Amino acid sequence: MLEFPRWKNILVLAVLFFSLLYALPNLFPQDPAVQITANRGHVVDAALKTRVATALQALKIPVKSIDLARDELLVRLHDPDAQLKASDAIRDALGDDYTSALNLASTVPHWLKSIGGSPLLLGLDLRGGVHFLMQVDEDAVVEKRIGGYVDEIRALIRKNQIRGADVARTGSGLGSGIAVRVASAADGNKLGALIANEMPQLDLRPSAAGTTLAGTLKPVELKSLTDGAIEQNIGTLTNRINQLGVAEPLIQRQGANRIVVELPGVQDTAQAKKVLGATATLEYRGNIDGNPYDAARSGNVPPDAKLYYMRELGPDGKPIPVLLSKKVIVSGDQLESASSMTDPQSGTPAVSVTLNEIGAKRMEDFTTDNVGKKMGVVYIERTPVTRIVDGKEVRTVKVTEDVINDAVIQGVFGKHFQTTGLGSLKEASELALLLRAGSLAAPVDIVEQRVIGPSLGQDNIDAGRRAVVIGFIAVCVLMMAYYYLFGVISVLALFSNLLLLTAVLSLIHATMTMPGIAGIVLTLGMAIDGNVLIIERIREELRNGNTPVASIKAGYDRAWAVILDSNVAKLIAGVALLTFGSGPVKGFAVVLLIGVLTSMFTSVTVSRAMATLVYGGGKKITHVSVGGGF
């Protein structure tokens, strides 16, 4: 009798239900849309909806719908061409008061979203957009750091009153160094010990006479500087791109000193370059006594104060005003580093900040006189803006100033200090990133740029869909024509594999690209191998004179070892691609690895459950439909 454990039947049904449920969102196409968000001082409301609708109607741009959410307006359109026209019209109508960005709006039902259902994300090659390859100027990073060490050594010389000593920078770029001259060998030994203690990142070499010290950055510090600069630049670019409202942007490191930026849906290269090229800085200012809400309402600001607004909105959804001093304590130029941490005393999230010697002295002087008072951190960004006025191009600069933190000074601090009282480690990490991302750590040059149009992206989607469908149908026809009923079982197992693979990729929010589609097609081709091995083993058992039931059992049991061996080899190849590959190769590897695992399950477990359903249940079997004359 051909039997299959009940728990395995339940497992198969559960997996198939899971696959169907989480692959379902991919049947709901996304609408081309324009997302509108308010800049500071403005709101998204019904009046804005009417204003946008009027602007689009004036240009006779057909609109699918205009949806008003709590903090954004989403204009759904029928096609990408209408999307681009609507974006230009909205930008002209609203000006700088609002930010409009191209997007894709989901049409997945709410009940499906509530259980985590979402469609596969589309990469740049499928959706269209802008691709930038940026190279970080490592020479500028090293020169900036060496300049900081020169300032710190001068501060050490003044602090320790070493007369006749002087320090200067030597060389340029990656070969930059420090030359320290002293009056005597004793002073050289003293200053060398101080520098080695305060700046262990420098490799100091005294001259034979001991009156000169030559310093260069240690190789470990050189690598750390480059890595830190790239990380900070990625953080800065991420913050800037978030202001564009781009859905699923890709910003990642490539190689030793390059950054890849991909903005799906963005077609305006000039606008993207302006945002990426914006400059930003930080300023630390003390709070001024007074009621900021009264000052914001009446416009009467104290003469020594300036009115700012917090980056985060208040509980009522309105900006929170803050009165800060016109005098700057420390600016972003004096900031060396910032990192998130947990305060060892209170156990609460915190951010650790390190200033250079000049900033440390100013901060120490200020905090000594202002313990128990508040200090604000102002994030200032300057973005180039180009307008056409009377047929001429006019370039201006848009300045955005936000308070990203306003905390009470708990004690005297200078070079190193912590900001506590943050709500979560995530908030602390984001604040540290903002502090580090006040400006680009090093200049970046755009060494490659290209634009992929929405129509080309759609062509790629159609081509990929055709490849999957044709490949699937070809395999199905071949299997059913050659293996009859067991071929039908194999086809159903193959379809369940495609469902399960799609569901898993959707659930982990994988980004689908053309290499990913190639991985799916390859997975379908390889997935049928397991079923072929099983059917051929069943045929072999039947040729040896075994009964149909015994042949089916032996076919599955004996083919499993071969299937396992072949798939382990594929897994090893997939892991190698994932480990050593980059970009598209990694995307291909992820699909391949998941596809191998799902095909092992469906080709053996799912197909056996189906075979048991057909030939089991106490039926008397005299014939097995496997083709080949059986």
145 vs 534, residue with greater confidence: 534
Give Cα 289 to chain centroid, integer Å: 41
Q: Which fold has domain 278-450?
A: Gyrase A; domain 2 (3.30.1360)
| Residue 436: per-residue pLDDT | 61
The average pLDDT across 170-190 equals: 84
Distance CA 108, CA 117 (A): 8
pLDDT in tens, 366-393: 988 888 888 988 877 666 565 666 766 5
pLDDT at 269 over 70: no
> What SS3 string covers 138-205?
HHHHHHHHHHHHHHHHHHHHHHCCCCCCEEEEECCHHHCEEEEECCCHHHHHHHHHHHHHHCCCEEEE
pLDDT in tens, 67-89: 887 678 889 998 878 887 888 88
pLDDT at 615 over 80: yes
582 vs 145, residue with greater confidence: 145
| Residue 220: per-residue pLDDT | 85
Taking residue 253's Cβ as centre, other Cβ atoms within 10 Å add up to 16
* Predicted model pTM: 0.60
Taking residue 173's Cβ as centre, other Cβ atoms within 10 Å add up to 12
| Residue 267: per-residue pLDDT | 56
Question: 549: pLDDT confidence band, cut at 50, 70 and 90?
Answer: confident
Please, what is the average pLDDT of the chain? 81
Judge whether 453 and 129 are in contact, CB under 8 Å.
no
Which structure tokens are listed for 453? 């149009």
Question: 597: pLDDT confidence band, cut at 50, 70 and 90?
Answer: very high
| Residue 398: per-residue pLDDT | 72
Nearest to 490 by CA among 527, 520, 462, 455: 527
Distance CA 124, CA 248 (A): 10
| Residue 195: per-residue pLDDT | 84
| Residue 411: per-residue pLDDT | 81
Strand order in the sheet with 416-419: 335-342, 349-355, 416-419
Instruction: Name the residue ranges covered by the structural domains of the chain.
Output: 6-25+453-615, 31-105, 138-222, 278-450
| Residue 545: per-residue pLDDT | 85
Beta-bridge mates of residue 434: none
pLDDT at 278 over 70: no
CATH class of the structural domain 138-222: alpha beta
pLDDT at 420 over 90: no
Lowest-confidence range among 29-33, 216-220, 307-311, 442-446? 442-446
Question: 496: pLDDT confidence band, cut at 50, 70 and 90?
Answer: very high
Distance CA 559, CA 553 (A): 10
The average pLDDT across 562-570 equals: 87
| Residue 78: per-residue pLDDT | 87
Residue 385 is which amino acid? V
Question: 504: pLDDT confidence band, cut at 50, 70 and 90?
Answer: very high
Nearest to 55 by CA among 102, 89, 81: 89
pLDDT in tens, 387-405: 666 766 565 667 778 887 7
| Residue 546: per-residue pLDDT | 87
From the options 3.20.20.150, 3.40.50.11540, 3.30.70.260, 3.40.630.30, give the CATH code of 31-105. Answer: 3.30.70.260
Which structure tokens are listed for 187? 């002073």
Distance CA 184, CA 212 (A): 9
420-424, 460-464, 505-509: which has the highest mean pLDDT? 505-509
Residue 562 is which amino acid? V
Question: 245: pLDDT confidence band, cut at 50, 70 and 90?
Answer: low
3-class secondary-structure state, position 372: coil
Distance CA 323, CA 303 (A): 11
pLDDT at 243 over 60: no
pLDDT in tens, 280-312: 567 889 998 888 888 888 888 888 889 999 877
Q: Which residues contact 222 (CB under 8 A, 6 or more apart)?
A: 142, 174
Beta-bridge mates of residue 374: 408
Same topology, domains 6-25+453-615 and 278-450? Answer is no
Judge whether 323 and 287 are in contact, CB under 8 Å.
yes
Lowest-confidence range among 259-273, 530-544, 560-574, 582-596? 259-273
Phi and psi at residue 268, to the nearest 5°: -90, 95
From the options 3.40.309.10, 3.90.1720.10, 3.40.50.300, 1.20.1640.10, give the CATH code of 6-25+453-615. Answer: 1.20.1640.10
